[in-house]
Amino acid sequence: MNRPEPRPLLSLDEAMARLVAGAAPHRITQTEALSTFEALGRVLAQGVNSALDVPPEDNTSMDGYALRAADVPQPGTVLAVAQRIPAGVVGQPLQAGTAARIFTGGQVPAGADAVVMQEQCEALPGEAAGGLGSVRVNSVPQAGQWIRRRGEDVQRGAPVLHAGERLTPQALGMAASVGAGQLTVLRRPRVAIFSTGDELMMPGEPLRPGAIYNSNRFVLRGLAQAAGCEATDLGIVPDRLDATRAALRQAAEHHDLIVTSGGVSVGEEDHLKPAAQAEGQVDHWQIAMKPGKPLAFGAIRRPDGTSALLVGLPGNPVSSFITWLLAVTAVLRTLQGMSAGLPRGLPMRADFDWLKPDKRREFLRVRLNAEGGLELFGNQSSGVLTSAVWADGLVDNPPAQAIRRGDSVCFLPLSELVAR
Ligand code: AMP
Ligand code: MG
């Protein structure tokens, strides 16, 4: 019998480039206007330019007295307090030889050029200026001290947020601080997810002989939600060609992307590839990475002639988790006009040996220790989900590279990989 030639493995970089190229024509263009209040985690479709200077006027960063530095040539100088300026109140122009009582955030009156903090002043009761008394200033001020200048944070017209940026809590605060009450964001990517495998059962049901619980369903849905997608869960699809085709066809109609788990090997129970070929077009790759070698990428036709993207992930729980973080994330980010490369890895010290590296690029599950190094999880098998729960991150290890205790390795924190 003739065995088919084993196909050469595709490098992960090449696979990522093909994912980006395949996803780019499907880029999401629909936008929606949202209240800034509701926009957390969304991707900006239009940048935000400041409509104003921030702060809008000079204001004080201390409770104290606003005055002219030249009026206090020596410590102990006494000035009449002519006005009181709490935050939110606009004072009068400062008369020479007077001071204004002022509170943090209060607008510095015209004519004043310094604030002396109250700890360096003594309030003196007196009849002068409407009962506000006077103040003894016990330090000699420098012009400009404790004044936050108009436009010091942001100048009017300056870009403060950019299209393609994900809206973090601090970005929402920035938008608010320049007066943007509404933001134009991309609509969320719509992702349909299903698992294949006749052995899969849902937690809550008693496990029948030969069965396992479907963990990928929870992991992948969670990853989709964490990445800001509208996730549709299509459950478990039986290991049959007709059922797999029907699931793909249904999912394609209302989704940008279909993600499946399992059934992407080339066994006779693996129906994803033939089903996808019948309903569209699909490439089946062997990627030089571990875990997560087999991956399917293609597109499923819709009745109107357009298509939905398809990524078929391997079934092993750690493989599907990691290939989502790398491959599906690249697709989702491309769909939203964001750069698809991996986050920058951090050089970290390995406090472990890894003396029998694989020929493929490996993503090892590791954890930070108290000594500032990395520990390795003992069992790196692609079926051991415990490793992914235990880990803080992954070591991105080049093909065939042994690691010795003390070596510097490339660390990718899970906190950077999830929810990008
Ligand atoms: P497959 O890619 O379908 O050959 O599956 C590879 C391995 O992953 C098998 O041991 C499956 O039982 C397991 N597996 C597949 N899908 C899931 C799932 N949704 N949850 C947990 N394990 C799975
Ligand atoms: Mg299977």
Q: What is the pLDDT of residue 127?
A: 60
Ligand 1 atom at minimal distance to the Cα of residue 316 = 8
Q: Residue 6 — very low, low, confident or very high, per pLDDT cuts 50/70/90?
A: low
Is a pLDDT exceeding 50 seen at residue 340? yes
Q: What is the pLDDT of residue 1?
A: 45
Ligand 1 atom at minimal distance to the Cα of residue 195 = 19
DSSP letter, residue 62: S
CATH 2.170.190.11 positions along the chain are 59-148
Residue pLDDT, tens place only, 24-81 = 999 999 999 999 999 999 999 999 999 999 999 999 999 999 999 999 999 999 999 9
Ligand 1 atom at minimal distance to the Cα of residue 199 = 12
Nearest to 297, CA basis, from 333, 266, 259 = 259
Exposure b/e, 2-28, CB count within 10 A at least 16 = b: eeeeeeebbebeebbebbbebbeebeb
In words, the CATH class of domain 346-418 is mainly beta
Q: What is the pLDDT of residue 5?
A: 60
CATH 2.40.340.10 positions along the chain are 346-418
Phi, psi of 261 (to 5 degrees): -125, 140
Q: Which tokens belong to 36?
A: 């800034």
Is a pLDDT exceeding 60 seen at residue 129? no
Q: For residue 397, what is the enclosing H or E element?
A: strand 393-397
Task: Kindly give the distance from the C-alpha atom of residue 215 to the centroid of ligand 2, in angstroms, as a whole number.
Answer: 13
Measured between its terminal Cα atoms, the distance across the chain in Å is 48
Task: Extract the runs of DSSP E, i.e. beta strands, from 25-178.
Answer: 31-35, 48-49, 59-60, 64-67, 77-85, 98-102, 114-117, 121-124, 134-137, 147-148, 159-161
Cβ 316 under 6 angstroms from ligand 1: yes
Judged by its nearest atom, the ligand closest to the C-alpha of residue 216 is 1
Ion ligand 2, residues whose Cβ is below 5 A away: 197, 262-263, 315
Cβ 216 under 6 angstroms from ligand 1: yes
Write the burial class of residue 74 (CB in 10 Å: 0-12 exposed, 13-18 middle, 19+ buried): exposed
Task: Kindly give the distance from the C-alpha atom of residue 166 to the centroid of ligand 1, in angstroms, as a whole number.
Answer: 33
Judged by its nearest atom, the ligand closest to the C-alpha of residue 316 is 1
Task: Kindly give the distance from the C-alpha atom of residue 145 to the centroid of ligand 1, in angstroms, as a whole number.
Answer: 66
Q: From atom 14 of ligand 1, which residue's Cα is the shortest distance away?
A: 315
Cβ 215 under 6 angstroms from ligand 1: yes
CATH 3.40.980.10 positions along the chain are 12-23+192-335
Is a pLDDT exceeding 60 seen at residue 135? yes
Convert 224-271 into a string of H (helix), E (strand) and C (coil).
HHHCCCEEEEEEEECCCHHHHHHHHHHHHHCCCEEEEECCCCCCCCCC
Cβ 233 under 6 angstroms from ligand 1: no
Q: Are strands 408-413 and 393-397 parallel, antiparallel or unpaired?
A: antiparallel
- Euclidean distance between CA atoms 309 and 283, whole angstroms: 12
Is a pLDDT exceeding 90 seen at residue 130? no
Residue pLDDT, tens place only, 272-320 = 999 999 999 999 999 999 999 999 999 999 999 999 999 999 999 999 9
Which residues make Cβ contacts (< 8 Å) with residue 12, sequence separation at least 6? 287, 288, 289, 326, 361
Cβ 197 under 6 angstroms from ligand 1: yes
Q: Which tokens belong to 14?
A: 């090449």
Which residues make Cβ contacts (< 8 Å) with residue 127, sequence separation at least 6? none
Q: From atom 10 of ligand 1, which residue's Cα is the shortest distance away?
A: 316
Residue pLDDT, tens place only, 175-201 = 999 999 999 999 999 999 999 999 999
Task: Kindly give the distance from the C-alpha atom of residue 313 to the centroid of ligand 1, in angstroms, as a whole number.
Answer: 10
Mean pLDDT (the chain) is 95
Q: Average pLDDT of 212-222? A: 98
The reported pTM is: 0.91
Q: Average pLDDT of 153-166? A: 97
Options 3.20.20.10, 3.90.105.10, 3.40.50.10470, 3.40.50.2300; CATH of 31-54+154-186: 3.90.105.10
Which residues make Cβ contacts (< 8 Å) with residue 109, sequence separation at least 6? 66, 83, 85, 91, 92, 93, 94, 100
Cβ 265 under 6 angstroms from ligand 1: yes
Q: For residue 321, what is the enclosing H or E element?
A: helix 317-323
Contact 243, 279 (CB under 8 A): no
Q: What is the pLDDT of residue 270?
A: 86
Q: From atom 5 of ligand 1, which residue's Cα is the shortest distance away?
A: 315
Cβ 315 under 6 angstroms from ligand 1: yes
Phi, psi of 307 (to 5 degrees): -145, 160
Q: What is the pLDDT of residue 369?
A: 98
Contact 237, 193 (CB under 8 A): no
User: Looking at domain 12-23+192-335, which CATH architecture does it have?
Assistant: 3-Layer(aba) Sandwich (3.40)
Cβ 260 under 6 angstroms from ligand 1: no
Cβ 217 under 6 angstroms from ligand 1: yes
Cβ 214 under 6 angstroms from ligand 1: yes
Ligand 1 atom at minimal distance to the Cα of residue 236 = 19
Task: Kindly give the distance from the C-alpha atom of residue 214 to the centroid of ligand 2, in angstroms, as a whole number.
Answer: 11
Name the residue of 200, 265, 270 to mutate for ligand 1: max ligand atoms within 8 A of Cβ. 200
Residue 150 half-sphere exposure toward CB, CA atoms < 13 A: 11
pLDDT above 70 covers what percent of the chain? 98
Q: What is the pLDDT of residue 48?
A: 98
Domain spanning 59-148: CATH superfamily: Molybdopterin biosynthesis moea protein, domain 3. (2.170.190.11)
3-state DSSP helix/strand/coil % of the chain, to nearest 5: 25, 30, 45
CATH 3.90.105.10 positions along the chain are 31-54+154-186
Task: Kindly give the distance from the C-alpha atom of residue 199 to the centroid of ligand 2, in angstroms, as a whole number.
Answer: 8
Contact 154, 93 (CB under 8 A): no
Q: What is the pLDDT of residue 4?
A: 58
Q: What is the pLDDT of residue 414?
A: 98
SS3 at position 9: coil
